[in-house]
Amino acid sequence: MSDFTRDEIHRLALLARLEFTDEQADAFAQQLTQILHYVETLNGLDTTGVEPTSHALALHSVMRDDEPRPSLSNAEALANAPEQEAGCFRVPPIIQEL
């Protein structure tokens, strides 16, 4: 496993909409590298014949029926919104297209 670089930290920060100074990025690069190396210990296990899984639950095929249930009220839905207007969340302008 290779080490994290400052540039990779900046790129991850951009994807997470965070902004770091170079000093912070360097510190995180070092810490994340340590964490990755620690997790790498798992590579020492022999997993031959073990199906990969994405969680530790012995459950599968959990589904619900298509029954509508009451939603929140508009006021409840917007209760945590820093800004609202006309029943909507009000956000910084979005470039029209994505």
Partner 1 sequence: MTAFETVIGFEIHTELLTRSKVWCGCSTQFGQPPNTQVCPICLGLPGSLPVLNRRALELALRACVALNCRIAPVIQFERKNYYYPDLPKNYQISQLRKNLGEAGWLEFQVGDETRRVRINNVHLEEDAGKNIHPETPGADYSLVDLNRAGTPLLEIVTEPDLRSAAEAAAFMNAMKSLLEYLEVSDCNMHEGRLRFELNISQRRAGEERLGTKVEVKNLNSMKTVLRCIDAEEDRQRDLLESGESVIQETRLWDEPSGRTRAMRSKEVAHDYRYFPDPDLVEIHVDEAWVGRVRAELPELPDARRRRFVEQYGLTDYSAGVLTARKPVAEYFESALRSHANPVGIGNWVINEVLRWLGEDPDRELADYPVAAHDLAVLVRMIDEATISGKIAKEVYKAMMAGEGAPEAIVKAHGLVQITDTSEIEPIVARVVAENPDTVAKIRAGKDKAIMALVGQVMKETRGKANPQTVNELIRSRIDEMV
19 binds partner 1 (CB under 8 A): no
92 binds partner 1 (CB under 8 A): yes
1 binds partner 1 (CB under 8 A): no
Q: Which of residues 35-54 bind partner 1 (CB under 8 A)?
A: 53-54
Stretch (H or E) spanning 83: none
- 16 token code pair: 């997470």
Give the up-direction half-sphere exposure of residue 12: CA atoms within 13 A in the CB hemisphere: 12
Residue recorded with tokens 């006309």: 86
**Minimum distance between the CB of residue 30 and partner 1, rounded to whole angstroms?**
22
**Minimum distance between the CB of residue 79 and partner 1, rounded to whole angstroms?**
10
Q: Is 36 helix (H, G, I), strand (E, B) or coil?
A: helix
- 54 token code pair: 């994405």
- 7 token code pair: 């540039």
Considering only residues 15, 42, 45, 50, which one is a binding residue for partner 1 as defined by CB under 8 A? Answer: 15
Considering only residues 19, 46, 72, 82, which one is a binding residue for partner 1 as defined by CB under 8 A? Answer: 72
Binding residues for partner 1, per CB under 8 A? Answer: 11, 14-15, 17, 53-55, 57, 59-74, 77-78, 83, 85-98
